[in-house]
Amino acid sequence: MKEKFKDLTKEEKEEKFNGLINYANKIKNKSLRNVCINILNDFKEELSCRGAGHDGIEKFKYNRTHQCFDGGLLDHLLNVTKISYNIALTYEKDIDIDLILFGAILHDLGKIKIFDKYDKENEIHSNLNYNYLLVDHVYIGEKIVEEYLSKEDISDKLKYQALHIIATHMDTLDKHMAEAYIVSYADEIDAYIENIISYPRNSINPLFNTYFYESDNSDK
């Protein structure tokens, strides 16, 4: 079982960041590749010191969510990109892998504003920033990406296809592209799996999940 609430080391963060850069370099379209790599480099520090979820707020009955640790956002982005890419390879003749990689790598970019930097002194992971929470990470990330795309020589069609994947990954809007479904479901897979194996008592069926993931499983 995974060690809960384990913050990433500097070396682990660098490894995961480089993993994202490697996937970004697989994007064949020059404009999409440039935007993706530029965003990663420009926001490297913010991406590296935030979680993908929050600690949970007891008074509001919120549970901890997936990868709420220092470096958790990098971990989640890389996992979702890996899952999306492997699904994409199954359908590569019929879908645009460039769009899938672009959307997967950047889908949660807005969380750099939603979650505050990890406070080691007070051992607070990924506190919610309520001002930005009013408009949610999907909107924030989409706006950042749109600003970068506007600087590239890119068609409106490709621009809005790329933005569509980010805008719909949380089901806030209807999906109209296969690529959007792939990234959205990859996001769900990682979030649910990470939540169950790291925080089984928070899950939909805590009795079974606690048994399977917190017991010593001596019967194996």
Q: What is the pLDDT of residues 90-101, one digit of tens each?
A: 998 999 999 999
- pLDDT tens-digit readout, 75-90: 999 999 999 999 999 9
Closest by alpha carbon to 74, among 40, 119, 97?
40
C-alpha 153/C-alpha 147 separation (Å) is 13
d(CA 112, CA 39): 12
Q: What is the pLDDT of residue 81?
A: 98
Q: What domains does the chain contain, in order, with CATH numbers? A: 10-203 (1.10.3210.10)
Give the integer Cα–Cα distance in Å for 160 and 147: 12
Residue 3, CA atoms < 13 Å, CB-side half-sphere: 3
Are 102 and 27 in contact by the 8 Å Cβ rule? The answer is yes
The pTM assigned to this predicted structure is 0.81
Contact 72, 108 (CB under 8 A): no
